[in-house]
């Protein structure tokens, strides 16, 4: 995996200094991007994640898609009820960080293992330290995410005690996404208004400093294209291993 030679770091750096968020357009070189997008099609062990009874749940995504309609409607109703009450999410994930630390990522998905190693390589981390003015960054975690119709992530700020999150990143891996399809990374002002939003773009790395209120708007139910991305955090201190 390699960074593109045409990255405009100055634009991203200026935006991050001004607003705490910015984008690096065309992050990966063309060869790495082709490898990565091809490998995603081979991922089969997706998890559907959500919160019920204030607890995080990892569910077999394929099994959940095959639930009888009545049972799936009951599940969706419980997810919606929790969303009305507080922080909630519903999307599919392939946890790169956990699988890498468990020693199974290389076997299950060798190209994604290369990507995870790249995210923790000095060329990538040095670039992140530079554009974020954050020399304290020492490692990255990450997951492959898939938002289908009805998937969402409600407002939160990523500030979790003990995680040492310096900044968050989202590498878009979907072509042709339309703004009215939902799935936008939205940022909020103190009054709860959306003051900025990033529409998913292929090979574009969204970066924002933590903490910062944000959400992923619900993907419209008529959308058949999944919103794919590598999502994670740039963190300081010692890498603790599996802790997500």
Task: Write down the pLDDT at residue 201.
Answer: 97
Task: Write down the pLDDT at residue 244.
Answer: 43
Residue 2 domain-assigned?
no
Q: pLDDT per position in the chain (244 positions), as tens?
A: 889 989 999 999 999 999 999 999 999 999 999 999 999 999 989 999 999 999 999 999 999 999 999 999 999 999 999 999 999 999 999 999 999 999 999 999 999 999 999 999 999 999 999 999 999 999 999 999 999 999 999 999 999 999 999 999 999 999 999 999 999 999 999 999 999 999 999 999 999 999 999 999 999 999 999 999 999 999 999 999 865 4
Contacts of 151 (CB under 8 A, 6+ apart): 90, 91, 92, 183, 218, 219, 227
Pairing of strands 204-209, 21-25: antiparallel
CA 92 to chain centre: 11
Contacts of 165 (CB under 8 A, 6+ apart): 158, 159, 210, 233, 234, 235
Task: Write down the pLDDT at residue 215.
Answer: 98
Rg (C-alpha) for the chain, rounded Å, is 17
CA 117 to chain centre: 17
Residue 244 domain-assigned?
no
Torsion of CA 51, 157, 138, 5, to 10 degrees: 100
pTM of the model: 0.95
SS3 84: helix
Residue 204 domain-assigned?
yes
Domain range for residue 54? 9-236
Is the alpha carbon torsion for 217, 221, 227, 231 positive or negative?
positive
Residue 242 domain-assigned?
no
Task: Write down the pLDDT at residue 1.
Answer: 84
Total number of domains constituting the chain: 1
Indicate which CATH number applies to the domain containing 144: 2.60.120.620
């Amino acid at each position: 995996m390699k960074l593109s030679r045409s990255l405009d770091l100055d634009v991203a750096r200026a935006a991050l200094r001004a607003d705490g968020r910015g984008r690096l357009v065309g992050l990966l070189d063309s060869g790495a991007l082709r490898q990565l997008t091809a490998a995603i099609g081979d991922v089969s062990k997706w998890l559907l994640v959500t919160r019920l009874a204030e607890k995080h749940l990892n569910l077999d995504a394929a099994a959940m898609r095959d639930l009888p309609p009545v049972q799936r409607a009951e599940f969706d109703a419980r997810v919606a009820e929790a969303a009305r009450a507080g922080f909630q999410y519903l999307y599919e994930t392939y946890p790169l960080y956990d699988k890498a630390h468990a020693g199974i990522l290389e076997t299950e998905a060798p190209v994604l293992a290369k990507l995870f190693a790249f995210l923790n390589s000095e060329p990538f981390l040095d670039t992140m330290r530079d554009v974020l003015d954050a020399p304290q960054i020492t490692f990255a975690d990450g997951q492959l995410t898939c938002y289908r119709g009805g998937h969402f992530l409600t407002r939160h700020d990523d500030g979790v005690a003990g995680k040492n999150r310096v900044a968050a990143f989202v590498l878009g891996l979907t072509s042709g996404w339309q703004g009215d399809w939902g799935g936008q990374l939205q940022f909020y002002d103190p009054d709860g208004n959306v003051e900025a939003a990033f529409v998913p773009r292929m090979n574009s790395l969204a970066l924002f400093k933590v903490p910062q209120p944000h959400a992923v708007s619900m993907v419209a139910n008529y959308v058949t294209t999944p919103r794919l991305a590598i999502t994670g955090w740039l963190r300081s201190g010692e890498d603790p291993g599996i802790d997500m």
